[in-house]
Structure 1
Amino acid sequence: MNDVDEEREKRKDEEASDRAASSLSNFSEEQRALLASIVDHSEYAVITIDMNCVITSWNHGAARIYSYTEAEAVGNPLSMLLPHDAVDTLPGIMERLVRGERTDHYESYHRSKDGNTIQVSVNISPMKDRNDRAIGASLIARDITVEAAARRRTEEAVITERKRFVDVLDMIPAYLVLLTPDHRVSFANRYFREHFGEDEGRRCFEYLFHLDRPCENCETFEAMRSGRPHQWEWAGPDGNIYDIFDFPFVETDGSKLVLEVGIAITQRKAAEEALKKAVAYNRSLIEASLDPLLTFGPDGKITDVNLATEKVTGCSRKELIGTDFSSFFTDPGAARAGYEKVFREGTVHDYALEIRRRDDHITPVLYNASVYRDDGGTVIGAFAAARDVTAQKKVEAELAVQRRRVLDRLSELEMFQRLTVGRELKMVELKKEIAELRSANAELRKKVE
C-alpha cells in the first residue's frame, strides 16, 4: 500500500469514527435506528468503551474480526483484545480522550478469541454527553492482516530487489553516483567509495578536492541545466582520467538529481597516446623514405601516398588519393596487370614500370608490393614501394657503350693478330723455301764440279 492509499484509508477510518462518536440527541428515533443499523452492519469493528475502558457496545464487524459475540464482549475490558505489552498504553489514551484529543490513525496488533494475532488499523475518538463531558470513546478497527502481510512481502521484495540492484552497481568497474543540486552525494557505489572515500555529509568539492567552492571546470550539472545527457572528461583525485556521462534524474519524491557514471580511461588514454606516437613515428619514417610509397585498394584506387610519390608524379597527396593506380604510368595496361597480380598472388617483386610525371618527365622504377589484411584476415589493400632506377639505367647505358667500345677494340686486335700471325707464317715459309733453294743450289754446285 502506498502513502496515498494509507491516507485515504485513514480518512475513511476517521470519518467512521466521527460518525460513531457523534451525539444522537439531534436525531429522531428512526434516524437513530438507521444510524445504529449502519454501524452494526459495518465491515469494520465499531466498539465503544466507557471511561474505565470497559466495552459498552460491539457490532457485527467486531464479532467477525475478533470472533467474540456481542454478549461475550460487552462488559469486559478492552484489554482482552490487546497484546500484553500494549495494555499499559490504555491509561494514556484515555487521558488524551478526556482532553478531547483524537488518537490519530495507527496500526497495531490485537488478539482474537482463539488467541491469534490480528493486525489492525485503529482510530479512537472521544464520546461526549450533552454537556461536552467525556463519557467514553469509540474505537474503529479494520483488519489489515492480509493486506499488511502482502505489503510486507512487497516491501521485502523491494528491499531484496534494491539490494540486488545495489550489489550489481557495486560490481560495475566504474563509479556511479547521484548528486543533489547542492553538490551532495545522495548515493555512491562501491567503486566511488573505494576510490574517493566516504562523503560524511560533505559536498563533493569539499571532500574530493578540499575546496570551499564548486570546481571551476566541473560540468556535472550541465545535464541538470539543459535537461539532456552530457559527456565530458574529468581528472579525478585518484590519478585517473574518467570518461563522464551525466544524466538528468528525478527521485521518487520529485526532487531533481544528476546521475553520473564515470569510466576510468587512463590506460586507454595512455594506449591512445602511445599509438598516436607510434603512428606519428611510423609516418615520419614513411615520409623520410626517398622511394615512392603508396597503398591502394582491391579496386586499384590509391588510398595513401608519401612525399616521394608526390614528387615523382608532380601531384599532391589530395590529388593522388582516390585516383586509379595505373593512370600515372606510361603503360597503364602493364600497371593494371601488376596490381592485379599483387591481389592474385599476394606479392610482386621488381616489377618494371615507368612513372610519367605531370610535365611528362619519365622515371623508370621497379615496384615491389604485397597485400595487407584486417584483423579477420581479409585482404583490404596492398602496399607498394617503387625504387627509382634512373641512375641504374644510366650506369647500364654507360656500361653498354663501354662494352661496345671494348668489343670493337677487341675485334680490331683480333684482326691485327690475324694479320700479324699471317705475316709470321709467310716469313717462316719464305725462310724454309730459301733454305731449300740453298740446299738445292749446293747440290747443283757439287754436281757441276
Structure 2
Amino acid sequence: MAAEMAAEIVPISLGLTEGTGITLWAPTWHEDGEDWEAFLGAGDDLYVFPTVAHLAAFTRTATEHDLIDHPEWPAAARFLADELTPDDDHRFDIIGVPDLVAETPDIWTLAELADTVAILRSLAEVCDIAVIDEVLGASDGFAALALGEQAFAGRTGEKLWDEIGAVVAERWDDVVDALDQLVTTPEVDGAAVETAQREVAAMEAAVAAASAESVQELEDEFGADASDVADFERDTAEPAEERDADLLFWEQAGIDCIQITVAGRTGWSLRGYLDDEPVFLSRGGRILTFSSPDALEDFIAEPGARHRLSELNFWAEVRDAVSGGDAAVLVDAANTYRLDGLAEQLLTGPGAVDADQLELAVELLSDAGDARGDSETADALSSATPLGNLVGSITSDDPDRLAPAPPYDDEVAAWTVLVDRFAITLEWDPAAR
C-alpha cells in the first residue's frame, strides 16, 4: 500500500562494460499523492562512480541532480563512507548475466537473476529505456523468476530456462549498450575525494585493527591460534543457568527467537503468535534473517526499524530491553530448525530421518506459509498427499501406521519445492530502514 512506501536512498553497484560502478537508488516512495522512484543522475544521465570515495565526494558537494528534492537527501548527503558501500543484496552484475544464465537454475542463481531483472525494470521505468522492456518481455521466464525453482522444474521449466538463455544470447548486448550510453561520471572536487579516501582508509584500518586486537587478546590469554580462539568462544558461551533469564524474557513477551539452517546458511530471526496465527519479524512479506545473534540484536535495538513486529503494542518494551542490555537473543532447542539434510534423509527412507527435526521443519514451513497466506504449503503436507503421508508416518506416535513404500522420489521433490519456496522468502541481514 502507498502508506507503506517509505522514502529511502540505497547505494547500489552496477557491473557494466567499463567495470563495476557505484550509484544511488531511491526505491518507490509515496509523496503528495503519487508514487516516485529515482536514481542519482541529471537529465538523461545516470551518474555512476568508480569508488565509494568519489560517490561520497559528490554527495557532499553537489547541488544539482535528480535526488536533490528527495525527502531523505539531507541525510544521504551526510552518509559516511561505510554507509555508501553497497551490501551484497544491492550488487547487480548486469554484464555478467550471460554467465549467470549458463548455470543451473538453482535457488541462488534464480535469486541473483531475479534481483538483477528487478533493478533493470526500475532503470527502464525511471530512465525511459525501452530496449530493456523489449528484451525482458521477450521471454515469460523473466517474469517467472520470482516463483523460484518450481517454475523451472521439469521439461516445461527447462524450456523456460533455455528460452531465457536464448534471449540473453541474442539481445543482452542491447541492454548493456543502452546502459553504457546512459552512464556518465561527473567531475567531483579533488579535495573532497581525498578527504573521503582518507575516511575509507581509516575505517578499513580501524576494522582490521579491531579484529586483530580481539584475536591477539584471546591468543595472549589462552595461548591458542585463530581457529582455537573461535572454538574457545563457542565453547565458553554463557552458562545456561545465567542465560535462562533471557529465555524467560522472550517467553513472557510471547516471542520466539528462532535459528534456521537452510541452503547452507544459518540465521536468526523472531516469531510470535497473535490469536494462534504466526507473525514473523518480516517486512514486505519477507522474513528478516540475520547471520548472527548480535546482528539481530542490533536490528531489534534500532528505534527506526520498521517491520511486522514493530506494529505490536509491546514492541517498544522489547526494543528497550535489548538495547539496554537487559535481554539477549537466545534460542532453545524447540526453536532450532535444521532444514538442510532432510531431503537426503527422506530419499533414503523413514528409518534414516531425524523425526524431531522433520517435525520442527514442518512446523516452520507451515507457520511461514500461514504468515504469507500460502495455502499450498498446508495442502502439500496434508495426509491426502504422498508427501504428507510419508511425513505423518515418520512423525506420528501411532505404531500401527505404516510408511508408504519406496521409492520416495516424488515425495522428496515435493518437499524440496516447499523448502526452496521458504528459502527465497528470507531477507538476509537487512538494513533497519
TM-score bin, normalised by smaller chain: under 0.3
The structure having more radius of gyration, on CA atoms, is 1
Q: Compare the two structures and name the one with the higher helix fraction.
A: 2
Between 1 and 2, higher relative CO (CA 8 Å, sep ≥ 6) is seen in 2
Q: Compare the two structures and name the one with the higher strand fraction.
A: 1
What TM-score does the superposition give when structure 2 sets the normalisation length?
A: 0.19
